[in-house]
Structure 1
């Protein structure tokens, strides 16, 4: 336990430094940071480089061989790509309970890579293109 004297010289600076250290530790070890580290551990070196550079990772479906992009986020973040690697269909599927974004993305990656047909059977489709303005 650390004790601070209220009237000591520099005690407010030490208290601010301790508070800053506490919040940085919370930020580095919070659920989002742990989920992101876990996701990165399950990525291939190519996927990790792509994720770091582009903010998404590509996965090949287990049954059809289709390519999917999984973007950062927890819902409506999976895009099926056509032959020219353009978004063709968006897919929305998430775990039953709320999880950190990295955990959701890892679950989506594993689901598409191991049982694509079952996932797409209950996933919701959406248009990956934004509506054009007149």
Structure 2
């Protein structure tokens, strides 16, 4: 009798574990579907905000250019999770990089749309730049001079 009780208990435990694993898998699958749907909506929004030239550029290269609404500076916003804004100087040379994104787990396309809207708006650009983290870049020429020393 004790063997049957032990077997029943073991069977019940295995069944409970299997059901919990199945619920967890289903929850993860639903979350992945929701994230994918949010990414699709965010991409549609971003593409709707871009002008035809920016849209072509983004679809071909994964980035687009924006002219600052207040400063007139030229920015390149790249599809990247961090430090994805290049501030361009003469001849398209990167002067420095910016990192500015909201907290939380937003779809990357929503982050890019927010960056686009802030940079091209004359009143929001200056505020955006004051809050963004600035990362220096070294040109190949500057790196060569540094290595010679």
- TM-score normalised by the shorter chain: which range applies? 0.7 to 0.9
Residue 133 of structure 2: aligned partner? 124
Q: Output one character per residue of 1:67-118: Cα deviation in whole Å (capped at 9) or x when no partner.
A: 0000002321000000111111101111233210000000000011112111
Which SS does the other structure have where 2:69 is aligned?
coil
Residue 55 of structure 1: aligned partner? 62
Residue 75 of structure 1: aligned partner? 82
Residue 13 of structure 2: aligned partner? none
Instruction: Report how far residue 128 of structure 1 moved.
Output: 3.8
Which SS does the other structure have where 1:65 is aligned?
coil
Structure 1 runs not aligned, ≥5 long: 1-22
* Larger helix share, 1 or 2: 2
Which SS does the other structure have where 1:38 is aligned?
helix
Normalised by the length of structure 1, the TM-score is 0.73
- CA 1:72–1:61: 2 relative to 1, 3 Å: same
Structure 2 runs not aligned, ≥5 long: 1-29
Normalised by the length of structure 2, the TM-score is 0.66
Contact 1:74 1:104 (8 Å CA) reproduced: no
Instruction: Report how far residue 38 of structure 1 moved.
Output: 1.1
Instruction: Report how far residue 130 of structure 1 moved.
Output: 8.5
- CA 1:32–1:60: 2 relative to 1, 3 Å: same
Which SS does the other structure have where 2:101 is aligned?
coil
